């Protein structure tokens, strides 16, 4: 089992590294990429949700959001309890599409190649693994 875990960890590290490289090469700032990516496709999320999703400090996300708001790329759409929901403006959606183009193309290419060889269930398996590693609290149930 250890060998599988090592292989998985190396794959995750390589994927993270590629996303990092792609984010650095985008026309948007590296942290802004995470905000744009999260809101692309019409999503409405709070800053807290974006910070939690990417495991980035909320202050870092706040800085990126404020810059994107100043540029007219993000708007506050509603409130979800105490949290304000954010969305891309039409100009922001266009900016995100251009800024994320290489990243989205890389994802599309990798997914196409993967689905040609493997079942889409590989995603279900990764989600299952992620859910269980996130819920682990240091005890194995004994």
- Rounded Cα distance between 109 and 38, Å, is 20
Instruction: Please tell me the pTM assigned to this model.
Output: 0.81
- Rounded Cα distance between 44 and 82, Å, is 15
Tell me what pLDDT residue 26 has: 83
Domains of the chain: 2-110 (1.10.10.10)
Tell me what pLDDT residue 139 has: 65
> In order along the chain (142 residues), what is the average pLDDT of each group of 10 residues?
94 92 84 93 92 92 95 86 90 94 94 94 93 83 50
- Rounded Cα distance between 49 and 54, Å, is 9
- Rounded to 10°, the helix 101-117/2-25 angle is 150
């Amino acid at each position: 089992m250890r060998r599988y875990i090592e292989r998985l960890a190396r794959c995750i590290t390589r994927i993270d590294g590629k996303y990092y490289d792609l984010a650095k090469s985008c026309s948007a700032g590296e942290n802004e990429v995470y905000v744009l990516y999260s809101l692309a496709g019409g999503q409405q999320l709070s800053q807290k949700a974006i910070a939690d999703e990417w495991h980035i400090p909320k202050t870092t996300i706040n800085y990126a959001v404020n810059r994107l708001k100043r540029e007219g790329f993000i708007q506050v759409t509603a409130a979800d309890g105490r949290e304000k929901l954010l969305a891309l403006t039409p100009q922001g959606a266009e900016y995100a599409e251009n800024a994320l183009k290489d990243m989205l193309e890389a994802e599309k290419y990798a997914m196409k190649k993967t689905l040609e060889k493997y079942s889409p269930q590989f995603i279900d398996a990764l989600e299952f693994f992620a859910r269980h590693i996130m819920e682990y609290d240091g005890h194995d149930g004994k």
